[in-house]
């Protein structure tokens, strides 16, 4: 995700060529959709981009806390799958 955002920023500035994937990503941002290249490596969701990103951050924080602090007392079930 980070590299695709960096490449998109450079393409918008004109320092690299805007590929078809980056153009599709840019259009998805304009339409508040999760970019296709992120859907391939992310989790399935029907949420728009503006809701998907905070949910992704929560999932990463949940898994990180579990990894570094041990198993939690309670589990956030949607972090594991798409209900």
- What ranges make up the beta strands (E) of the chain? none
Q: What is the pTM of this model?
A: 0.79
In the chain, % of residues over pLDDT 70: 96
Q: How far apart are CA 48 and CA 68, in angstroms?
A: 30
For the cut 70, the answer to whether the pLDDT of residue 82 exceeds it is no
Average pLDDT over residues 17-31: 95
Q: How far apart are CA 24 and CA 36, in angstroms?
A: 8
Q: How far apart are CA 3 and CA 55, in angstroms?
A: 20
Amino acid 53: pLDDT: 93
Average pLDDT over residues 30-59: 91
For the chain, how many structural domains are there in total?
1
In which domain, by residue range, is 39 found? Answer: 2-79
For the cut 90, the answer to whether the pLDDT of residue 59 exceeds it is no
For the cut 90, the answer to whether the pLDDT of residue 63 exceeds it is no
């Amino acid at each position: 995700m980070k590299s695709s955002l960096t490449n998109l920023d450079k393409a918008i500035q004109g320092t690299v060529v805007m590929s078809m994937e980056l153009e599709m990503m840019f259009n998805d941002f304009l339409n508040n959709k999760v970019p296709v290249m992120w859907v391939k490596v992310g989790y399935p969701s029907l949420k728009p981009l503006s809701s998907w990103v905070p949910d992704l951050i929560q999932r990463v924080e949940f898994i990180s806390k579990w990894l570094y602090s041990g198993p939690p007392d309670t589990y956030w079930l949607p972090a594991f799958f798409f209900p």
